[in-house]
Amino acid sequence: MDIGVIAKRYAKALLLFAQEEKAEDLVYQEVLQFIESYSKVPQLATVLGNPLLPAKKKEMVICQAASTEVSPVFQKFATLVVAHRRESFMLFIAHSFVTLYRELKHISIGKLITAVPANEVVAKRLEKMIEKRSENSIDVIMETTVDPNILGGFIFQLDDMRLDASVSTQFEQIKKQFIEKNKRII
């Protein structure tokens, strides 16, 4: 049984159903909340994987993890997942749904890593610059992280592109060049 294939099929079904009901944005928010709840409450996996827990309780747990008051689309989807005994794959389904939704809506996630907290203005300017230069009009959601281990500069990631202008990487490159050059001398 391939978890990725199962998750993607259910995620596609949820996205299509949400589009038919014109509730894809609401379902997207509920799925994001479910993922956040799942990461904050590790016991959720144990509860969903418990074969002794009745199906209605599992549905209720999935819905409560998504929102205090879920949409009818998400409620029906939770019922379907539990009826087909796929509740243990719910996190994988949720991540697949988020990926499909972002592809559909042309949303990219940009990640800016700096050694010191980045100015909000800089992050917004970078976000706008990426949106202007993109061929397909995309929306960029910018996440900023502080990592003092990079010593200075920045690391920027957007989808599968990575720009590493950190001081620590530059030091590593200089070190490798120095070692390589000194190996030839000996």
Domain count, the chain: 2
121, 91: one domain: no
77, 8: one domain: yes
Residue 158: pLDDT band (50, 70, 90) is confident
**Which CATH number covers residue 84?**
1.10.520.20
Query: Of the residues 103, 133, 162, which one is the last residue of a structural domain?
Result: 103
Q: What pLDDT does residue 30 have?
A: 94
Residue 184: pLDDT band (50, 70, 90) is low
> Taking Cα atoms as reference points, which of 158, 157, 155, 114 lies closest to residue 138?
158
Model pTM?
Answer: 0.74
Residue 110: pLDDT band (50, 70, 90) is confident
Amino acid of residue 22: K
Query: Of the residues 68, 103, 138, which one is the last residue of a structural domain?
Result: 103
Q: Tell me the residue range of the domain where 151 lies.
A: 112-185
99, 117: one domain: no
Alpha-carbon radius of gyration of the chain: 22
pLDDT, tens only, 1-51: 678 899 999 999 999 999 999 999 999 999 999 999 999 998 888 888 888
Question: Which two structure tokens, joined as six digits, stand for 86?
Answer: 């796929």
User: Could you tell me what percent of the chain has a pLDDT over 90?
Assistant: 41
Contact in structure between 137 and 106 (CB atoms under 8 Å)? yes
Q: What pLDDT does residue 140 have?
A: 76
49, 67: one domain: yes
Query: Of the residues 84, 103, 122, which one is the last residue of a structural domain?
Result: 103
Q: What pLDDT does residue 153 have?
A: 85
pLDDT, tens only, 134-151: 666 677 777 888 899 988
99, 122: one domain: no
Cβ neighbors of 167 (< 8 A, separation 6 or more) are 115, 150, 151, 152, 153
85, 23: one domain: yes
Alpha-carbon distance values, 78 to 60, 89, 120, 161, 179 (Å): 8, 12, 38, 35, 57
> Taking Cα atoms as reference points, which of 63, 84, 89 lies closest to residue 3?
89
119, 98: one domain: no
pLDDT, tens only, 55-96: 999 999 999 998 888 999 999 999 999 999 999 899 999 999
